[in-house]
Amino acid sequence: MLPLEQRSDIFSARKVSGNRPSQLAMQARELFAVPSSPGTGVRKVSQEGGWVRSSTNPTPIFRTRMKRMEQTHHTTLDCSEMSTDGLILQELVARLPDPRVTFPSLDTPYSKYSNINYSAPRHEVHAIREMISQRQAQLSEVTHRLASTEVAVAKIRDFQRQLLEQRKQIVASMEAHQGLISCIRRLPPEILAEIFMRCLPHQLCIKPKSGTAPLILTRICSRWRTVVLNTPRLWRSLDLGCPGRPKMLQENVAFLQNWLSRARGCPLSLVVDACYWGRDNAHKELAELLQPYTSQLARLSFRFNEATVLELLLKDVPMLEHLTLRGEIRSWNRRKISMTQPEPRLRSINLWSNYLTPDDLSLFDPGWANLSRVKVVLRFSPTESNVHAFWTLLQHCPNLDEFVFSTVLATHADMTICPLGTLRHAKLRSLHVAVMQAGLFVNPLTLPNLRHLRISCARIPITWRQEEFKAFLSRSQCQLETLKIVDKKRVSTQEDWAEYTALIPTLEHLNLGGAMVGSV
């Protein structure tokens, strides 16, 4: 540790001009004024390590150095000041009592009697009282040292708090200036737009929320807002989900119009939920809002309970490629709805309904012959045969590549209408069905181009593989690559696996549920 005079010289080494005394120097002087017991003076550690008395006032040399330090002024925080702060902190720590200093042993000739019922004789009472007085003096000295230490520690903590605050301000200033030269501030708008595109929610259509993109991106800075508002792709999807709330739509018409107008000429993806609006003016207002943008619709998901809005939306949809309808087609009061597409582009349609019959399909003409993907999901298990709707869709969609239908119910009476192998589809590559009777379902089918088949059934007969399914494969002469059979009432075995792989030499992947999944 440096001698006091040499440490004091350090404080006067800084020669920075300024207008106010060094605050840290003033704090150091306050700290050095450690309180002491009356008449005892300030205690300091001698070179020998023991405690000795010293004068209450600082030494003349130290007092001179402190005076010179207070006369030094500064206006800026530079490296020399920060290094001096470290030396000041060392000086503060040096003024604390040395924790390594130890008192003489506290053991006495009477210590061994402390745990037994010993009564000192009269001639030993005086000696014991002297020892008690000595302990009292030692206790007072330690208490005084503890008070001095607590005062010093409190001031060091205050000094630390100020340094932490200074560091926080310095870091904030540094980061602010680093931001001025950061690369992201120099990115071209086109690159920023690509980054913003990857900030959009993952769902197909965006539900407007102030805390998610793209809205939140408009509140970062003026440059980002300009880029966002001039990137139409960020505004090309919108979820208008307002079930049972036509008033909400009326209150947000301006917001929705601004959103859609920012998409400019981009193809639009919309989700419209008008299922519980009833037969009032709300659906007309919705149609009026969306009418200017129907020519841009590429994807439309519409939930309905009547056909008015859908009929208006599908009047002029030249760019529509994907359509999802959720509702009861039979609720259209037998009114047929057609689409207007000069050059048909619709390739995919999803139908979600409670029931579906060939008569229901006759009310809607989306251009079945052009479709390559059809998905039908019935919310309730059918209680009567609906296999005719399945057959009708296969017949109306000659270019179908992927077909999903859940759930199909066929009866023996249906087989008289469509005999064995009479329903042929030359292009279907992927078929995913949930059926009530697996054997009856495949009997009429001939699918020569089928590559991917998934059948889910409540109970598949044990003889199905060697009878109906084997006959279907023989008729179709298809080269199946993937097969998934889900039997909800029976666990497949190794024997089942062996039979399927023997029946289909071209099979690459087989899934029989549970552990029976893998490459062939």
Give the highest mean pLDDT range of 7-16, 49-58, 326-335, 401-410. 401-410
Please report which confidence band the pLDDT of residue 462 belongs to, taking 50, 70 and 90 as the band edges. confident
Q: Among 53-67, 262-276, 283-297, which stretch is predicted with the lowest mean pLDDT?
A: 53-67
Instruction: Report the share of the chain in percent with pLDDT over 70.
Output: 74
Residue 149's pLDDT is what?
A: 84
Strand order in the sheet with 517-519: 237-239, 268-273, 297-303, 322-326, 348-353, 373-378, 402-408, 430-435, 452-457, 482-487, 509-511, 517-519
pLDDT greater than 50 at residue 5:
no
Give the pLDDT of residue 302.
87
In angstroms, the CA 291 to CA 260 distance is 11
Q: Is a pLDDT exceeding 90 seen at residue 404?
A: yes
Q: What percent of the chain has pLDDT over 90?
A: 30
pLDDT given at position 14: 40
Q: How far apart are the first and last CA of the chain?
A: 79
pTM value is 0.66
- Mean pLDDT confidence for 230-253: 76
Q: What is the mean pLDDT of residues 2-14?
A: 42
> Which of 144-148, 269-273, 347-351, 357-361 has the highest mean predicted lDDT (pLDDT)?
347-351
Highest mean pLDDT among 76-85, 225-234, 248-257, 309-318: 225-234
Per DSSP, the chain holds a count of helices (H) and strands (E) of: 17, 20
- For the cut 90, the answer to whether the pLDDT of residue 479 exceeds it is yes
Q: Are 469 and 445 in contact (CB under 8 A)?
A: no
Task: Give all domains of the chain, ordered by start, each with its CATH number.
Answer: 4-101+128-180 (no CATH), 187-235 (no CATH), 239-355 (no CATH), 372-520 (3.80.10)
Q: State mean pLDDT over 362-367.
A: 84
pLDDT at 405 over 90: yes
Which residues make Cβ contacts (< 8 Å) with residue 363, sequence separation at least 6?
329, 330, 332, 334, 335, 336, 337
Average pLDDT in the 13-29 region?
A: 45
Mean pLDDT of the chain: 78
Between 26 and 513, where is the model more confident? 513
Give yes or no for a contact between 11 and 84, defined as CB atoms under 8 angstroms apart.
yes
Task: Name the nearest CA neighbour of 343 among 375, 311, 316.
Answer: 316
Tell whether the model's pLDDT for residue 93 goes beyond 50. yes
Out of 48-57, 233-242, 253-262, pick the least confident. Answer: 48-57
* pLDDT at position 35 over 50: no
- In this prediction, residues 44-65 reach a mean pLDDT of 42
- Per-residue 3-state assignment (H helix, E strand, C coil) for 3-65: CHHHHHHHHCCCCCCCCEECHHHHHHHHHHCCCCCCCCCCEEECCCCCEEECCCCCCHHHHHH
Provide the pLDDT for residue 334: 60
pLDDT at 20 over 60: no
